Amino acid sequence: MERSLTMEIVRVTEAAALKSARWMGRGKKEEADDAATSAMRDVFDTIPMNGRVVIGEGEKDEAPMLYIGEELGTGTGPSVDVAVDPLEGTNIVAQGTWNALAVIAIADHKKLLHAPDMYMKKIAVGPEAVGKVDINASTADNLQAVAEAKNKAVEDLVVIVLDRPRHKELIEEIREAGARIKLISDGDVAAAMNTAFDDTGVDLLLGIGGAPEGVLSAVALKCLGGEIQGKLLPKDEAERERCTKMGIVDADKVLYMEDLCGGDDAIFAATGVTDGELLQGVQFKGEKATTETVVMRAKSGTVRFIDGKHSLEKKPNYVIKS
């Protein structure tokens, strides 16, 4: 993989963020998602790479852009597999709340799990707690292990959980153990990534979210030296077949870092669309816009924060006229 891709993909996530941020608070999640997807698609076309979407917006017949199998880039340069979530948190943008991201992960061919669009049970932690948690252990035991690893009391921990009825029991277990909770409406990629940054105040992500988001989170945490474990949760025979079709032999097995994102290299980039603990969202002022992006590479361990200042006058395609 070429390290020049690291900088190239920042342009892609920035474009998606700039476009979709115009939809903040308008109550239109599909429009926000389409804006991010088409912006991403356009910029990918300018990058010297031989990319193939392995996690994307769906199958060819259901997604006109960034569908699984779609080829990306100018066709010259490194051959890589690409996972995208142009707008991770469509509802977040529609409502104007926290932690919507435009996300891309890139890895060498066959290194990313081809995660079907279904649920995945997850536990994610930052570097200090790597090797200390176990998705099969009790919630109390995992909280205790993370507290010890971080030299904190369990009462000091902050656990992020998607605010869903399916997490009723999990939330009770966390409360019983004494840890604190941040319930989120959406956006568990940001939550997983934030566990690796002390300043965010986020210690763990627990619960059930999207499987594709689990793979994206794994790439981020690989670059950051953190860890996520996952378990696919096929809800019926059709979803089990889908796993088999996507090359997953045992859908019930625990997926560790190496299963989610293999090898020693991968690149991850995320641009904030709305404000979050780690990244500020897009801000507009007249003909100017600003973006904040984190971009990182597993092989070198470099993590960069890139502040973008954009001239909308010179990039008129970013101005949405409603």
Q: How far apart are the first and last CA of the chain?
A: 41
Q: How far apart are the C-alpha atoms of 205 and 221, rounded to whole Å?
A: 12
- Minimum Å gap between C-beta 20 and ligand VTB is 13
User: Which one among 57, 70, 88, 265 touches ligand VTB, defined by CB under 6 A?
Assistant: 88
- Minimum Å gap between C-beta 209 and Mg ion is 8
Contact 24, 52 (CB under 8 A): no
Q: Which is nearer to ligand VTB, 177 or 189 (CB)?
A: 189
User: Which one among 116, 187, 207, 308 touches ligand VTB, defined by CB under 6 A?
Assistant: 187
Tokens of 143: 């909280």
Only one of the segments 8-16, 180-188, 230-238, 261-269 lies at the binding site for ligand VTB (rule: CB under 6 A); that segment is 180-188
Instruction: Kindly state whether residue 186 participates in binding ligand VTB, applying the rule CB under 6 A.
Output: yes
Q: How far apart are the C-alpha atoms of 27 and 92, rounded to whole Å?
A: 9
Instruction: Kindly state whether residue 31 participates in binding ligand VTB, applying the rule CB under 6 A.
Output: no
Amino acid identity of residue 117, one-letter, is D
User: Which one among 188, 203, 227, 292 touches ligand VTB, defined by CB under 6 A?
Assistant: 188
Amino acid identity of residue 226, one-letter, is G
Which residues make up the interface to Mg ion (CB under 5 A)? 85, 88
- Minimum Å gap between C-beta 164 and ligand VTB is 5
Q: How far apart are the C-alpha atoms of 202 and 292, rounded to whole Å?
A: 19
Task: Residue 266: name the closest of 54, 119, 43 by CA.
Answer: 54
User: Which one among 207, 209, 234, 276 touches ligand VTB, defined by CB under 6 A?
Assistant: 209
Burial of 141 (0-12, 13-18, 19+ CB in 10 A): middle
User: Residue 186 binds what, of Mg ion, ligand VTB, none (CB under 5 to 8 Å, by partner type)?
Assistant: ligand VTB
Q: Which is nearer to ligand VTB, 106 or 189 (CB)?
A: 189
In 3-state terms, what secondary structure has residue 52? strand
Instruction: Kindly state whether residue 34 participates in binding ligand VTB, applying the rule CB under 6 A.
Output: no
255 secondary structure, DSSP code: B
Question: For binding to ligand VTB (CB under 6 A), which residues are involved?
Answer: 88-89, 162, 164, 186-189, 209-210, 213
